[in-house]
């Protein structure tokens, strides 16, 4: 099971391409699609989230209801504020995925993956390994990235996708739910991520773990209570094929 950001995909693609793309198009997307049921549902969850936080966070953009245009403009401002603060809200991720979908379909976006990802996916499937993804990005966003990746369509190799609807990535119970969904014991699953808190949660759930250290990224400093995880720098190190004879 794989994380995306910093594991299969450069962090810069997420923060330098995907987030700015969604941020710049949020208001236009909402004006075009606010009447669809799924977008309305996302907006209602965000409205409730903002109302719950309004007494605690003083710099929240106002949420206006005096007109449809004012409501959409204020919703877009809140969405942009959430992205600026790197919030992991499920409704925000859902909206981002819908915005990115248009970009992928229009050819403006192409999912960046490290060069070793495509060959590793093919190798692991030849070995009858099950490949799953667990990311804070929505399942839609995950599928779009891998379907339109720089290595081609990688979705035929992937058996399952999990996002924050399963639970937070830093909570042990999320990994137990994933194992149950896959019909496997946690001990039968290897989780690869660059983030120590995620790896710690997976390890406490009983999974094997590997910390992925990609070129250009530094190993995070350890904090009190952090677990130790074996490290890799490339998927070439994970289940390599052996040459007989």
Instruction: Please check the confidence at residue 223 and state whether its pLDDT lies above 80.
Output: no
What is the CATH number that goes with domain 14-105?
A: 1.10.720.60
Between residues 220 and 214, the one the model is more confident about: 214
Long-range contacts of range 67-70, CB-CB < 8 Å, 24 or more positions apart? Answer: 68/34, 69/31
Q: Are strands 231-232 and 158-162 parallel, antiparallel or unpaired?
A: unpaired
Is it the case that residue 12 has pLDDT exceeding 50? yes
How many C-beta atoms lie closer than 10 Å to residue 207's C-beta? Answer: 23
Length of the chain: 245
Specify the DSSP element, H or E, that contains 209. Answer: strand 208-212
Distance CA 244, CA 107 (A): 43
Band (239; pLDDT cuts 50, 70, 90): very high
- How far apart (Å, rounded) are the C-alpha atoms in residues 139 and 48? 23
pTM beyond 0.75: yes
pLDDT in tens, 54-103: 888 888 999 998 888 899 999 999 999 999 999 989 999 999 999 999 99
Structure tokens belonging to residue 75 = 């919703």
Q: Locate all alpha helices (DSSP H) within the chain, ordered by sequence.
A: 11-13, 19-33, 37-53, 68-84, 90-105, 117-126, 139-147, 172-182, 196-204
Give me the residue spans of the domains in the chain: 14-105, 111-237
pLDDT for 245: 47
CATH of domain 111-237: 3.40.50.1000
Contact 130, 239 (CB under 8 A): no
Taking alpha carbons only, the member of 196, 223, 224, 197 closest to residue 212 is 196
- Which residue in the block uniquely carries the two structure tokens 């992937």? 158
């Amino acid at each position: 099971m794989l994380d995306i950001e910093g594991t299969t995909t450069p962090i810069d693609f997420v923060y330098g391409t995907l987030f700015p793309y969604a941020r710049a198009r949020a208001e236009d997307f909402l004006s075009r699609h606010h009447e669809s049921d799924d977008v309305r549902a996302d907006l209602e969850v965000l409205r409730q989230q903002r109302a719950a936080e309004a007494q605690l966070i003083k710099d929240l953009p106002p949420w206006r209801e005096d007109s449809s245009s004012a409501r959409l403009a204020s919703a877009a401002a809140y969405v942009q504020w959430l992205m600026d603060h790197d919030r992991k809200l499920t409704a925000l991720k859902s909206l981002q995925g819908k915005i990115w979908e248009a970009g992928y379909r229009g050819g403006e976006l192409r999912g960046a993956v490290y060069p070793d990802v495509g060959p590793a996916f093919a190798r692991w499937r030849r070995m009858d390994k099950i490949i799953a993804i667990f990311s804070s990005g929505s399942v839609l966003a995950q599928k779009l990235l891998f379907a339109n990746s720089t290595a081609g369509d990688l979705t035929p190799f992937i058996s399952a996708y999990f996002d924050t609807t399963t639970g937070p990535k830093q909570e042990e119970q999320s990994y137990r739910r994933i194992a149950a969904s896959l019909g496997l014991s946690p001990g039968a699953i290897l989780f690869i991520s660059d983030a120590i808190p995620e790896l710690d949660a997976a390890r406490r759930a009983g999974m094997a773990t590997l910390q992925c250290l990609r070129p250009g990224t530094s190993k995070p400093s350890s904090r009190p209570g952090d677990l130790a995880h074996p490290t890799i720098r490339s998927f070439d190190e994970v289940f390599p094929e052996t040459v007989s004879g």
